[in-house]
């Protein structure tokens, strides 16, 4: 009986000796939370820069009363969007997959989609002479479709704000 007990003690010691280093290596390979939080805060800050440039309305009535899509021109916003895209590209590689990363990605995608639609209706103040051709005949459907695009842009800005707020909640703000 004592030899069985001795074998069991030996096996227990050998098992403990092999698992203890593995646990410490696992802790070393884990990234500390404060590094991720710093990266996450930078991602939120990048999107906040975009949020300050757009008009987010709380209601349809507010949008119809004002009608502005942004505080900056389309070209300025596209430049800022490109900068945020570059910044988020590197930050998202460091952020682990999960709800926070999804919220950040969705917010950025909403801004990108809003810009796509904004381009469809943007009318620059300076028009090149080559563009001064006769106005194309537009059907009632085309005119109605173009009239809905500002609402689509406003909805994308509002969605971006919603996703960004959800990401902030994940950070505990």
Q: Are residues 118 and 142 in the same domain?
A: yes
Q: Render the chain in DSSP notation, one character per residue.
A: -HHHHHHHHHHHHHHHHHHHHHHHHHHHHSPPHHHHHHHHHHHHHHHHHHHHHB---SSHHHHHHH---BSS-HHHHHHHHHHHHHHHHHHHHHSPSSHHHHHHHHHHHHHHHHHHHHHHH---SS--GGG-PPPPP--HHHHHHHHHHHHHHHHHHHHHHHHHHHHHHHHT-
| Per-residue confidence (pLDDT) for residue 2, from 0 to 100 | 60
Q: Are residues 3 and 45 in the same domain?
A: no
Q: Are residues 94 and 141 in the same domain?
A: yes
Q: Are residues 60 and 114 in the same domain?
A: yes
| Per-residue confidence (pLDDT) for residue 106, from 0 to 100 | 97
Q: Are residues 18 and 65 in the same domain?
A: no
Q: Are residues 12 and 89 in the same domain?
A: no
Q: Are residues 37 and 26 in the same domain?
A: no
| Per-residue confidence (pLDDT) for residue 6, from 0 to 100 | 52
| Per-residue confidence (pLDDT) for residue 1, from 0 to 100 | 55
| Per-residue confidence (pLDDT) for residue 50, from 0 to 100 | 95
Q: Are residues 104 and 38 in the same domain?
A: yes
| Per-residue confidence (pLDDT) for residue 3, from 0 to 100 | 60
Q: Are residues 2 and 53 in the same domain?
A: no
Q: Are residues 10 and 38 in the same domain?
A: no
Q: Are residues 103 and 131 in the same domain?
A: yes
Number of independent structural domains in the chain: 2
Digit-coded pLDDT (tens) for 154-166:
999 999 999 999 9
b/e map of 67-85 (b: 16 or more CB within 10 Å)? eebbeeebeebbebbeebe
Handedness of CA 110, 113, 117, 122 (dihedral sign): positive
Spans in the chain with pLDDT lower than 50:
17-34
| Per-residue confidence (pLDDT) for residue 139, from 0 to 100 | 75
Q: Are residues 92 and 118 in the same domain?
A: yes
Range of the domain at 122: 32-171
């Amino acid at each position: 009986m004592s030899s069985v007990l001795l074998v069991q003690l030996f096996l227990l010691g050998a098992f403990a000796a092999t698992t203890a280093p593995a646990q410490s290596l696992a802790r070393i390979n884990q990234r500390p939370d404060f590094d991720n939080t710093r990266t996450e805060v930078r991602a939120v800050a990048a999107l906040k820069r975009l949020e300050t440039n757009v008009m987010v309305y709380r209601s349809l009535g507010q949008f119809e009363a004002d009608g502005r899509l942004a505080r900056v021109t389309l070209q300025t916003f596209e430049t800022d969007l490109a900068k945020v895209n570059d910044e988020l590209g590197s930050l998202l590689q460091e952020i682990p997959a999960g709800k926070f990363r999804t919220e950040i990605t969705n917010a950025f995608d909403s801004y990108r989609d809003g810009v796509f639609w904004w381009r469809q209706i943007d009318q620059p103040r300076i028009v090149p002479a080559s563009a001064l051709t006769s106005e194309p005949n537009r059907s009632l459907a085309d005119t109605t479709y173009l009239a809905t695009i500002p609402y689509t842009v406003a909805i994308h800005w509002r969605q971006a704000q919603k996703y960004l707020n959800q990401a902030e909640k994940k950070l505990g703000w």
